[in-house]
Structure 1
Amino acid sequence: MVKRTNDPEGLRRRLLDTADRLFQAQGYHGTSMHDLMREAGVTGGALHHHFASKKALGLAVIQERVALTVRETWLAPLHQAASGESAVQTVLADICRGLDERGRVQGCPLNNLALELALADDDFRIALDAIFAEWRNGLAARLRQDGLRKPEAEARASFIIAAYSGAIAMAKTAQSAMPLKNCARLLATRTAPSAPDKHRAATGR
């Protein structure tokens, strides 16, 4: 049933939320505009009033929903934790706990769309890469606060993101949180600055 509304912003949010959910559940290419209209309860005219094309909607989902998920899940804890190491471990523990509670692994929203769309369209690739860059830069900045020099912090941030992305893809395939739990356990020994790192940071050598 089509829902009529006098709340344009509310309708736009509903369309984004619906598209985000469907893209994660069945893929961007596997989701039709009819699917979106049916699930959101809107007419074609209402959908196209806010998003001129499926691609425009897809880019908006990436920029306004996927980016927000990364910020809330990964970047916000970096400012609240005592160290980058503890933040990473807290995030991974929370994700693993959520997977266990749901009993289903849907994967990382950013990783899911990157694997599907990065080679399909350059605009999608650029939008997705911008989120990875923001994630990497935020994590590297926090690791630098812990005493790592810039090159090591950037390399370690990339390693953490790559390890997580691979582990969550394996967890999705296995429908088990175990690959991510194993990843978290090993990352616990890789995110903290080593004694030489701390010495170099303190002495400048």
Structure 2
Amino acid sequence: MTRMAPLRDPDITRQRILGVAAEEFHLRGYKATSLSDILTRAEVSKGALYHHFPNKQELGYAVLEEAYINDCMSMWRQAMAQDDIIKSLGDMLEEMRSHCVNEDVMKQGCPVNNIAQEMTAQDAGFQQRISAMYTTQAKLVEEALNRSIAAGYIRDDIDPEGVALFIISCLPGMMGIVKATRSKKDLEKMHQGLLNYLETLRAGT
């Protein structure tokens, strides 16, 4: 019989449940993960889980927002805070490339991308949250492009809104292909192709 961890701090318990659920959803997929799997790994009682999350759907929404989207948006906000968006995007892409060459990462894919593909056609709550994330990403990139244009880093004849949408669409596509092919060569080619595209935006090109 599994010994349940003492519930001294509800916030710690909630974060433990979220952390385990985030790992399990990423590894197995949302549908294939049972609440029993999460309870066993988190070493909490069913009552403790339901105290924080009334059902699996609400737990899924919390994982999506507080773990997956929060981590993703933190990376984007940091990159988009710079004036030279081409350099900051290049640095972000290099960090992602270095992370994604790991075999386990290629196999498991991007957690946001995975749950988007699995659940957006079936659950309005997932669809709305992921749609809002992409809308926010696109706005961040568009604003950063406009700042870079004003600072003279980027050509002033581009369509910032269209370029922003194109850029944010590339990363889920890249991650989806890498998860399917598990090819480091494909990853390197897509990474370099996007870097080459970004350079065409530079002022004076």
Q: Residues 51 and 149 from structure 1, CA distance in 2 versus in 1: closer, same or farther, beyond 3 angstroms?
A: farther
Contact 1:156 1:191 in 2 (8 A): no
Amino acid at match of 1:64: E
Residue in structure 1 matched with residue 98 of structure 2 by the alignment: 97
Q: Residues 82 and 141 from structure 1, CA distance in 2 versus in 1: closer, same or farther, beyond 3 angstroms?
A: closer
List alignment gaps of at least 5 residues for structure 2: 150-154
Q: Aligned runs of 1:126-205 on 2, under 5 Å? A: 126-147=128-149, 152-192=159-199, 193-195=201-203
Counterpart-to-counterpart distance in 2, 1:130 and 1:149: 28
Contact 2:85 2:148 in 1 (8 A): yes
Identity %: 26
Counterpart-to-counterpart distance in 1, 2:66 and 2:157: 29
Amino acid at match of 2:48: A
Amino acid at match of 1:171: V
Confirm or deny that 1:84 pairs with 2:85: yes
SS in 2 for 1:127: helix
Q: Residues 130 and 151 from structure 1, CA distance in 2 versus in 1: closer, same or farther, beyond 3 angstroms?
A: farther
TM-score, with structure 1 as normaliser: 0.87
Q: Residues 131 and 37 from structure 1, CA distance in 2 versus in 1: closer, same or farther, beyond 3 angstroms?
A: same
**Which range is displaced more, 68-77 or 29-38?**
68-77
Contact 2:83 2:147 in 1 (8 A): no
Q: Residues 162 and 18 from structure 1, CA distance in 2 versus in 1: closer, same or farther, beyond 3 angstroms?
A: same
What are the Cα deviations for residues 176-199 of structure 1, in whole angstroms up to 9, with x where unaligned? 333332222111232242547x9x
Q: Residues 182 and 31 from structure 1, CA distance in 2 versus in 1: closer, same or farther, beyond 3 angstroms?
A: same
Counterpart-to-counterpart distance in 2, 1:52 and 1:103: 32
What are the Cα deviations for residues 127-171 of structure 1, in whole angstroms up to 9, with x where unaligned? 111111111111111111111669811211211121111111111
CA drift at 1:74: 2.3
What are the Cα deviations for residues 99-138 of structure 1, in whole angstroms up to 9, with x where unaligned? 2345541222211111001011111100111111111111
Amino acid at match of 2:86: E
Contact 1:33 1:54 in 2 (8 A): yes
Q: Aligned runs of 1:113-124 on 2, under 5 Å? A: 113-124=115-126
What are the Cα deviations for residues 28-86 of structure 1, in whole angstroms up to 9, with x where unaligned? 0010010110111111101000000000001111111111111222221222x451111
Amino acid at match of 1:99: C
Residue in structure 1 matched with residue 152 of structure 2 by the alignment: none
Amino acid at match of 2:89: V
SS in 2 for 1:141: helix
- Alignment length, in residue pairs? 196
